[in-house]
């Protein structure tokens, strides 16, 4: 009966029939994976799961998060770059995989610009200089004094070599003229466990990953690394306010698909991600974790990635950061 109705309705019926056909072409018809390049519990993982939960009912398909940790997010990026461009495999792209790694790695297995289709920026967060409750130094000046008293002995954890946390540490070492130990992990989750347990001393970790531990009292927020204070941390000074004008080392997250993803699908996904980012409960959770300035067009996100790549290429060159393997 439905088929007969469309056929007999003439031009109007043909237009009606075209709508669900285009709709189906613009979204995957099978479950979708959002691949995260870090272990569960880190900032990238937290935001990916938040977005996935909202996209699933909108897309009428399960949207699951899959963790492929290692190499500061590059393993996951390389994996997604090689997947079919059908929308069933997306990547929660990260400053590490798409802006820092290209500057540090002389030879990469993927091209951060051409092997991916930008969908939408999810958010930009400060990093937080944190420690556990047992550390004696709990201000920026005290941390500097500690590093100078014990040069090369105070440890700072990160989510991996070449990660945003790693480069924030390198910027700090240059600005403060101190020596410290860099301890890389396969993501913020395992790094935070060791920081809270006292195996490492400090970290410039993402606000998203650190916030639950700061709120629970297991970690102490010493300073934040955007030029402005995040609304969720009004009482934590910035590094700029702590004696380092211009110090800014952020972390950002955004969804991308494999290269050559159909333009219509990318546009539809962008629209839906923007709808998710505008949901009141999502806004609240993003703000709680210091994630700001997300959303916008596909073109805006592509331009943002390019500008970040140029910025971090300059930082890597000036700081003399090398790939540590």
Provide the angle, in degrees to the nearest 10, between the axes of the packed helices 280-288 and 263-277.
80
Give yes or no: residues 220 and 192 share one domain: yes
HSE, side-chain direction, 13 A CA sphere, residue 284 = 3
Below-70 pLDDT ranges, the chain: 1-25, 324-325
Residues 36 and 46 in one domain: yes
- Is residue 24 a part of any domain in this protein? no
Residues 163 and 95 in one domain: no
Task: Return the residue matching tokens 């002995």.
Answer: 153
Distance CA 45, CA 300 (A): 23
Query: What is the domain count for the chain?
Result: 2
Query: Tell me, what's the pLDDT at 25?
Result: 55
Cα of first residue to Cα of last residue in the chain, in angstroms, is 64
- CATH number of the domain residue 36 falls in: 3.40.190.150
Assigned domain for 290 exists? yes
pLDDT at 20: 40
Which residues are bridge partners to 160 per DSSP?
Answer: none
HEC sequence for 104-158 = HCCCCCCCCCCCEEEEEEEEEEEEEEEEECCCCCCCHHHHHHHHHHCCCCCEEEE
Check residue 68 and give its pLDDT.
Answer: 96
Q: Could you tell me where the beta strands, DSSP code E, fall in the chain?
A: 32-36, 63-67, 89-94, 116-132, 155-158, 181-184, 202-206, 219-224, 250-258
Same domain, 255 and 300: yes
207 and 146 within one domain: yes
Residues 41-84 have pLDDT tens digits of: 888 999 999 999 999 999 999 999 999 998 889 999 999 999 99
- Give the CATH number of the domain where residue 186 resides: 3.40.190.10
**Residue span of the structural domain in which 136 resides:** 126-224
pLDDT of residue 22: 40
How many Cβ atoms sit within 10 Å of the Cβ of residue 224? 30
Q: Are residues 219 and 131 in the same domain?
A: yes
Judgement on whether residues 98 and 34 belong to the same structural domain of the protein: yes
User: Would 239 be classed as within a structural domain?
Assistant: no
Residue 172 located in a structural domain: yes
- Whole-number pLDDT of residue 319: 74
Digit-coded pLDDT (tens) for 115-140: 999 999 999 989 999 999 999 999 99
Predicted confidence at residue 256, as pLDDT, reads 98
The tokens 């870090």 sit on which residue? 38
């Amino acid at each position: 009966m439905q088929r007969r109705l469309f056929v007999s309705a003439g031009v109007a019926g043909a237009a009606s029939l075209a709508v669900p056909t285009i709709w189906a072409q613009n979204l995957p018809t099978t479950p979708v994976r959002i691949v995260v390049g870090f272990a569960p519990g880190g900032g990238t993982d937290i935001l990916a799961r938040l977005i996935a939960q909202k996209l699933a009912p909108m897309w009428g398909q399960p949207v699951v998060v899959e963790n492929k940790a290692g190499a500061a997010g590059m393993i996951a990026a390389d994996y997604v770059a090689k997947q079919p461009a059908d929308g069933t495999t997306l990547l929660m792209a990260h400053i590490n995989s798409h802006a820092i790694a290209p500057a540090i790695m002389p030879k990469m297995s993927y091209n951060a610009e051409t092997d991916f289709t930008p969908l939408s920026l999810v958010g930009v967060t400060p990093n937080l200089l944190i420690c556990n409750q047992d550390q004696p130094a709990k201000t920026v000046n005290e941390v500097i004094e500690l590093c100078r008293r014990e040069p090369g002995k105070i440890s700072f954890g990160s989510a991996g070599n070449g990660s945003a946390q790693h480069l924030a540490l390198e910027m700090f070492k240059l600005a403060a003229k101190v020596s410290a130990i860099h301890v890389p992990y396969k993501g913020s989750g395992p790094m935070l466990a060791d920081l809270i347990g006292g195996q490492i001393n400090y970290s410039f970790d993402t606000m998203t990953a650190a916030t639950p531990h700061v709120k629970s009292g297991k970690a102490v927020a010493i300073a934040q690394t955007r030029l402005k204070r995040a609304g969720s941390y009004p009482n934590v000074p910035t590094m700029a306010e702590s004696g380092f004008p211009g110090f800014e080392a952020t972390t950002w997250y955004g969804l991308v698909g494999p290269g050559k993803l159909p333009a219509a699908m990318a546009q539809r996904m962008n629209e839906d991600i923007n709808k998710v980012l505008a949901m009141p409960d999502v806004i609240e959770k993003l703000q709680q974790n210091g994630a700001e300035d997300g959303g916008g067009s596909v073109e805006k996100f592509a331009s943002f990635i390019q500008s970040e790549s140029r910025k971090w290429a300059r930082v890597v060159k000036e700081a003399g950061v090398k790939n540590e393997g």
